[in-house]
Structure 1
Amino acid sequence: MGVNFSAFEIGRRALRAQQLGIAVTGQNIANVNTPGYARQQLLLAPAPPSGTGSIQIGMGVVVEGVRAMRDRFIEARLQRETAIAGRLNAERDTFSIIENAFGDPTNGGIQQALTNFFGAFRDLEANPTSVPLRTSVIARAVELTNAFHQTRARLLSVYQDVQSEMSSLVDEVNRVAAQVADLNRQIAANSGAGTDTSALEDQRNEAIKRLAELVGVSATENPNGMVTLTFSDGRALVLNDRAFELGMIGVPNGVPTMTLDGQAITIDSGRIGGLLNAVGAVDGHLTALDDLAAAFAARVNQLHSSGEDLDGNAGGVLFVAANAMPINAANIAVDQNLQNNPRRVVAAAAGAGSGDASVARAIANLISDSTQTVGTRTGSFTSIYASIVTDAGDMLRTAEDNLAAQQAIVAQVTAQRESVSGVSLDEEAINLLQYQRAYEAAARFLKVADEMTQTLIALGQ
């Protein structure tokens, strides 16, 4: 009687398959907290049968490979939604700085300084011959010009802060893009050699996700296993195993220009895109602030010049430009002649005598005069400034609301990815138990086959 050793081959394959299953399960458990890791699955299939005639006996199990559980559609959507969240995050952060630059209108800042200035003229109206009250007017006027200077300087600092952050982000983009290009090269080489590339693909996906968050690139997988990363205009940041250099041309006070391989490029997504969008809004706030300072100074100067000072001299301007240029929020200053001689502050109309207070009253009434025009805004100077601050606050609130909604979308897509690619310790525990039991059963099968074989050998002796 011949001895059939096929049972030993079946048992050997079963032991190997279950051993590999335990190893894959251990790999999943070990990487449960690894960012970007895609759960792996052992692929098993029945071995082709062997035999003669109508009797075909299965030869156990074969291992076809290990598959990383990924959904390309979900991965691509997660990259898109992450890019949008990155842009909104940057806008929210920058708009918050812009709003803070205006200060609390109820506690200091331009709003309080305007109120104090008009209040000083109201006090002078009540006692138009007082020199101390004129000194107070000068002090409140200087306080107001300083408030304009400080607010504008804080707005300008946004440019420097953003450019400093963007410079660091550009360096990171170039570093991560070079990493993706290198991973592309390794994945293509390993795929050609038949080596598993799951770990490399996990690293590449995490790097692409970071680039999407920073500059909003989209990924396209090529037949050779490499990916191409492109901006919204179709230009490539990474093309197969080559990374192109992102650059930034900074300007002292303005929006920097982004370049790709030395050529200007528009980035409208990711954190860098959000920073560019937000810093562009600073121009509008600076213009509004400069227009307010110019219109305010012009109207006060018009009224002040129409009267006469305490000594009967024709009134002059109260506000001037510190650098002899048109008045704006950066250069508005109190005329030095008035600072040197407060008696030159005007309260009376021309020829009305020192006891008159009509000019002081007219200037004080500007606090509620709703006929003033600054750019496209109409109202009193205090209400116009309040509207500028409100616009900044509205931009921040809108960015916060949009970001909250986008974060919910990102969380939803992330949950979808985790349902496919994430590691569940409960599932892995069940898999581990199944492989363990199958391994023990295969070992028992081999033992029985060995005992049967020994019996057959003994009978044949």
Structure 2
Amino acid sequence: MASDLLSIARSGARVARTALDVTANNIANAKTEGYVRRSVSVAEVTAGSLNASPTGINLAGARITGIVRNADVFRQSEVRRTGSDAARASAEVAGLESVQTAIEQTGVYDSVVAFEGSLKQLVSDPTDGSLRAQVIEDGRTMAQTFNTAAQNLDAAGKGLRFEAQDGVDTVNRLAGEIAKVNLRLMRSGGDASGDQSTLLDQRDSLLQQLSDHADITTTINADKSVSVTLGGPTGTSLVSGATAKTLSMASAANGTVSFSVNSQAVTLSSGAVAGKAQALVELAGARTQLDTIAGGIVSAINTAQTGGVDLQGSPGQPLFSGTGAADIAMVASKGTAIATAPAGAAAGSRDMTNLAAMRGALETADPSGAVDTLLFGISSAVAGRTITRDALAAIAGSAQSALSAQAGVNLDDEAVNLVRFQQAYQASARVMQVASDIFDSILSIR
């Protein structure tokens, strides 16, 4: 009996010592990013077959069956999913804010209103040189603000594409690292050891980082390796076993971007890269509207110009050149070039028929109203997406908190475990001492 008692106590001491080591490791890694709290899995050791001796006592102590990571697969998946949605919303809002700033801060609306106002003032005296000069200057200023707005949008688009490409590069780097971790997990042979737990922590941390950039679907294989698919469950495989494919980005003529994995098209619906791509779509739409407004001004004014004569009685010539926001320009150098009088009128005519036609054409095009609508649409989109971003961030934070409560290290709990396992170790040592005393007593019997 003393021998059995000694082996039971030894197994208990081994379990308690390992549990102390695991607890100490938890405490040491309490602030380690991506670390998942460990615990020891213990099972009873039976000495014989219960079928052979159903009424016998079969006691042989305890044994360690492995190291358990206290992480719930569903909660980890929720953290990745909600975090990916929040990252997409945040990236999209940042991109829309850049579009809004590019147009608002250049003063396009104010310059259009000023140009329309100067044409209205010219009605008071169509032959006044200073009023004509003001029209030319306001037109030149308006054209320059359109140019600046277009340049700012181009710069914002270039920045978004750079950030999107950086995200694509990050996705490829993380995919390669996941493939390497997969290879090490496959070689570990499913051994539930502390080393494998470290690899699983690395795997899960890489997956979470990857989900911040793109929407991923994961499948955990029997050997603990992970298969990763981009673009939802029916998307394209990115990582399979120890092999990682390459995500690529291509830019279209309008500045929008598309993605492919090894030349196979893939649509990203969440993650920061998807947010940048969506912001580029919004930017391209804003740029098209701005070009349409600028082109409408050029067409309206130049068409009206050809229907009248200037102050010197010559046929009206175009005041503006260009077809869009980037190339619109005032080509007239003097106020006398404005064709306010109808065709056939004499030089210095005060007949404002053609000026009225010019103002009517501009009112029909309504550039100030179009710019106002454009700005309102962008600001409304920013406000709406900001609300969505904040809501998604709160959801992602709740999911992260739920996972941290389960997988994170609580120092108070670990302090209790230290005392508990220390007492268990001391108790097992005491049992071994008792077993030794019993054995010595038996030997001393004569």
Q: Is the 8 A contact 1:38 1:69 kept in 2?
A: yes
The corresponding residue for 2:239 is 238
What corresponds to 2:330 in structure 1? 334
For 1:289-335, what per-residue CA distance to the aligned partner results, in whole angstroms no more than 9, with x for missing partners?
111112222222344444432223333322222xxxxx221221212
Query: Compared with structure 1, are the counterparts of its residues 438 and 192 closer, same or farther at alpha carbon in structure 2 (3 Å cutoff)?
Result: closer
- Equivalent of residue 114 in structure 1, options 101, 112, 115: 112
Which whole-Å CA distance do the structure 1 matches of 2:197 and 2:391 have between them?
33
Q: CA deviation at 1:50?
A: 6.6
Do structure 1's residue 354 and structure 2's residue 352 form an aligned pair? no
| Alpha-carbon distance between aligned partners in 2 of 1:53 and 1:147, rounded to the nearest angstrom | 94
Distance 2:426 2:37 in 1: 25
Query: Is the 8 Å Cα contact of residues 366 and 381 (structure 1) preserved in structure 2?
Result: no
Letter in 2 for 1:440: Q
1:104-155 Cα offsets, whole Å, 9 max, x none, are 4xxx511111122122223333343322332222111111111111111222
Tell me by how many angstroms 1:250 deviates.
3.6
Alignment-derived partner of residue 447 in structure 1: 433
- Residues 8 and 61 of structure 2 are in contact (CA less than 8 Å); yes or no, is this contact kept in structure 1? yes
Is the 2:304–2:361 Cα contact (8 Å) retained in structure 1?
A: no
TM-superposed CA distance for 1:363, in Å, is 5.2
- Conservation of the 8 A alpha-carbon contact between 1:348 and 1:359: yes
Q: Secondary structure at the match of 2:379?
A: helix
- How far apart, CA to CA, are the structure 1 residues paired with 2:361 and 2:416? 78
Distance 1:362 1:250 in 2: 43
Matches for 1:158-307 after TM superposition, within 5 Å: 158-192=156-190, 195-196=193-194, 197-231=196-230, 232=232, 233-251=234-252, 253-307=254-308
1:366 Cα deviation from its structure 2 partner: 7.5
Q: CA deviation at 1:251?
A: 4.8
1:81 aligns with 2:67: no
More displaced stretch, 383-392 vs 439-448: 439-448
The Cα RMSD (Å) is: 2.5
Q: Write the letter of the residue equivalent to 1:266.
A: T
TM superposition shift of 1:54? 5.4
Whole-Å separation in 2 of the counterparts to 1:62 and 1:68:
18
* Mapped partners of 1:78, 1:310: distance in 2: 71
Q: Describe the SS at the equivalent of 1:223.
A: coil
Deviation at 1:409, TM superposition (A): 1.5
1:164-187 CA distance string (max 9 Å, x none): 112222221111101111111111
Distance 1:214 1:28 in 2: 29
3-state secondary structure, aligned to 1:288: helix
- Correspondence 1:16 to 2:14: yes
Which sections of structure 2, spanning at least 5 residues, go unmatched? none
Shift in Å, 1:55: 5.5
Which region of structure 1 is more displaced relative to structure 2, 306-315 or 407-416? 306-315
% identity of equivalent residues: 26
Deviation at 1:394, TM superposition (A): 1.8
The 5 Å alignment of 1:385-400 reads 385-400=371-386
CA shift in 2, pair 1:343/1:55, >3 Å = closer
Which SS does the other structure have where 1:145 is aligned? helix
Counterpart position of 2:320: 319
Q: Distance in 2 between matches of 1:344 and 1:70?
A: 77
Change (3 A) 1:346 1:240: same
* DSSP 3-state at the match of 2:239: strand
Give the direction of change, closer, same or farther, for the CA distance of 1:193–1:412 in structure 2 (3 Å limit).
Answer: closer
Cα distance in 2 for residues equivalent to 1:423 and 1:366 = 71
1:376 counterpart residue number: none
Greater alpha carbon shift after TM alignment, 51-60 vs 143-152: 51-60
Deviations 1:251-297 (A, max 9, x none): 56522332211333332332212222221222221221111112222
Q: In the alignment, which of 34, 44, 69 is matched to residue 36 of structure 1?
A: 34
Residue 338 of structure 2 is aligned to residue 345 of structure 1: yes
Report the more deviating stretch, 14-23 or 165-174. 165-174
Structure 1 residues not aligned, in runs of 5+: 322-326, 374-379
